[in-house]
Amino acid sequence: MKRTCVVIGGGISGMSTAILLAKQGFDVTLVERASRLAPLVRGFSRQGMHFETGFHHTGYLEQGEILDRAFKVMGLTGIESFPLGLGSDQRVVVDGGPTEGYPMSSGFVRLLDVLGDYFPQERSPLQNYLNSVEKTQNSSPYLALDASGPRETPYRDSTLAEVLDSLFTDNRLKSILASQVLYHGVPPAEVSFVFHAWVGAAALRSLRTIKGGGKSLVQAFERALEYAGVRVETGRGVNRVIVSPAGALAGVCLEDGQALETKICVSTVHPALLADLIPEGIFRPAYTNRLARLPETPRAAMVFGMIPTNSDVAPGNSWLFLEGHNPACWFGVEDRRGPGAMSVMISDPGGDNGMASLELAACSAPDVSKYELKEHLIQSYMQRLPSLYQRTQFLEVASPSTFARFTNSPFGSYYGPQHAVGVHPPQPRTRLPGFYLAGQAVVAPGIAGAVISACVAVDVMLGGDTVLKELRQC
Ligand SMILES: Cc1cc2nc3c(=O)[nH]c(=O)nc-3n(C[C@H](O)[C@H](O)[C@H](O)COP(=O)(O)OP(=O)(O)OC[C@H]3O[C@@H](n4cnc5c(N)ncnc54)[C@H](O)[C@@H]3O)c2cc1C
């Protein structure tokens, strides 16, 4: 008889875990509290225009890289990805730098060329930095699936800030490189160089997006879940994990009172929520308190609008404005049609109304009301990109509380708990036999981190490297 398993949370981590376990012969039920799977990544529509929320672009999606292989291993079909950042479409604007910003190319060689021209004195340290990033990325078994020989991790005991200070003299270049903390939400002085190279600097290696955006990614997952035979329960959150008087995992209880029996359960929800799910006395109080108090990544805030498509703003354009070393706000024009879709827009087929969708994001939301937040973001947009501002129609705003409500997470942050130096992320195995953790808090944030967390959790559960081997052979 098949062993049963319940996966709690139907985001990218939960959907990946469910498919991988079903492929290993488990009878899997995936339980998601929201009415549809992956509310964070699916996005939403207003006035015929589709807007992205939790997925814009990602690293590690080149052919043969971890996401590409994991999608194949999970049987995701119909995913077409294309590169971003090859021209001058992504710009980082730094105090004291050119007003139009520095073009951020992805690809180490191209980046060295582009930034090396702006900072000729720093070309050699930049080469050193990029080499160290690449070596570090190649040191992770899940990121460098084909690597053989010794795996080097330069600057293993240093923070990102320490490495930047030791290599560079130009503060603007330091800020540009530090701006990649945008992808994990931990300040340069608090993130290890190694974690930053794996997650933040993935964008320097290569940056891709998916045709159809987050919605088509979720649809590919939905098809794969169905094909793998996973039972999906949406609109039905888990409110309690059931533990027998002998201390063994017995099942989960849903909010509508139904109990699902299982001896194996994987939770992908925010770790701060575990204290409410697990009966008292199962975990040590120090453990649950620690999980509840993990430092959180910045709170998310976005304003969504549209602009007429014309020649001076192209789909795929984005601007990241820095204040000192810190990312302050990001403005992006989304193109969900594919490369070369310059003058037509946008997102969903049928959404071609001559307008481009525009997203304005505060890199860390100030603690103000939703109305003030919207004003804050629009003001900052007006000051920084006045000509675009004139042509923008604002449609929607999402504050941290919107994100918290929408994603059933406690804080509405970009990436859940921080992976900062000195913070110990929860491990997949817990004190309750059969109860495992996966998700962005466990391994790393972002789509890649969520998928890798599922691979790691399944390997830990099976007690070997089954998934890792399959990824290597793929
Ligand atoms: C504004 C924003 C932009 C982003 N942009 C990018 C990007 O461009 N690229 C990128 O790679 N990453 C991006 N991210 C990060 C990325 O979206 C996340 O890292 C990733 O989606 C996390 O997936 P997850 O499955 O671990 O968590 P979640 O998606 O949070 O999944 C957890 C799920 O658990 C459910 N849940 C909670 N409690 C219960 C319960 N009791 N019972 C049942 N279900 C429950 C929730 O509803 C949720 O669906 C962005 C995030 C934000 C907020």
In a domain, 87, yes or no: no
pLDDT reported for residue 104: 85
Residue entry with tokens 């933040």: 200
**Radius of gyration, alpha carbons of the chain:** 22
DSSP 202-239: HHHH--EEETTHHHHHHHHHHHHHHHHT-EEEES--EE
The dihedrals phi and psi of 178, each to the nearest 5 degrees, come to -70, -20
440 CA → ligand 1 middle, Å: 8
200 CA → ligand 1 middle, Å: 17
pLDDT reported for residue 86: 58
On whether both 175 and 143 belong to a single domain, the answer is yes
**Structural contact between residues 86 and 105, judged by C-beta atoms closer than 8 angstroms:** yes
Distance in Å from the first CA to the final CA of the chain: 29
pLDDT reported for residue 347: 30
On whether both 320 and 392 belong to a single domain, the answer is yes
pLDDT reported for residue 139: 92
On whether both 339 and 392 belong to a single domain, the answer is yes
Integer Cα distance of 320 and 40 in angstroms = 22
In a domain, 94, yes or no: no
Which atom of ligand 1 is nearest to 441's Cα? 26
Longest dimension (CA), the chain: 68
pLDDT reported for residue 346: 29
In the chain, the number of structural domains is 3
- Per-residue tens of pLDDT for the chain, all 474 residues: 789 999 999 999 999 999 999 999 999 999 999 999 999 999 988 877 788 899 988 999 999 999 999 999 999 999 999 888 655 578 999 988 999 899 887 899 999 999 999 999 999 999 999 999 999 999 998 999 988 777 889 999 999 999 999 999 999 999 999 999 999 999 999 999 999 999 999 999 998 989 888 999 999 999 999 999 999 999 999 999 999 999 999 999 999 999 999 999 999 999 999 999 999 999 999 999 999 999 999 999 999 888 876 657 776 788 899 988 788 898 888 754 433 222 222 233 233 456 667 888 888 888 888 999 899 999 999 999 998 888 888 889 999 999 999 999 999 999 999 999 999 999 999 999 999 999 999 999 999 999 999 999 999 999 999 999 999 999
Q: Is 246 exposed, middle or buried (0-12, 13-18, 19+ CB in 10 A)?
A: exposed
Q: Is 157 exposed, middle or buried (0-12, 13-18, 19+ CB in 10 A)?
A: exposed
In a domain, 12, yes or no: yes
Integer Cα distance of 382 and 363 in angstroms = 17
pLDDT reported for residue 338: 35
pLDDT reported for residue 287: 95
The three-state secondary structure class of 131 is helix
Cis peptide before 346, with omega less than 30 degrees from 0?
Answer: yes
pLDDT reported for residue 88: 53
Q: Considering Cα of 374, then 377, then 383, then 387, what sign does the dihedral take?
A: negative
Integer Cα distance of 316 and 347 in angstroms = 12
Residues having CB within 6 Å of any atom of ligand 1:
8-14, 31-34, 39-41, 53-58, 237-238, 268-269, 273, 300, 302, 403, 407-409, 414-415, 439-440, 445-447, 450
Which atom of ligand 1 is nearest to 450's Cα? 26
> In a mutational test of the pocket of ligand 1, which residue from 8, 29, 40, 41 has the highest number of ligand atoms less than 8 Å from its CB?
40
114 CA → ligand 1 middle, Å: 34
Residue 269, domain extent:
4-38+216-296+418-473
In a domain, 93, yes or no: no
On whether both 22 and 48 belong to a single domain, the answer is no
On whether both 122 and 176 belong to a single domain, the answer is yes
CATH of the domain at 23: 3.50.50.60
The three-state secondary structure class of 28 is strand
pLDDT reported for residue 350: 31
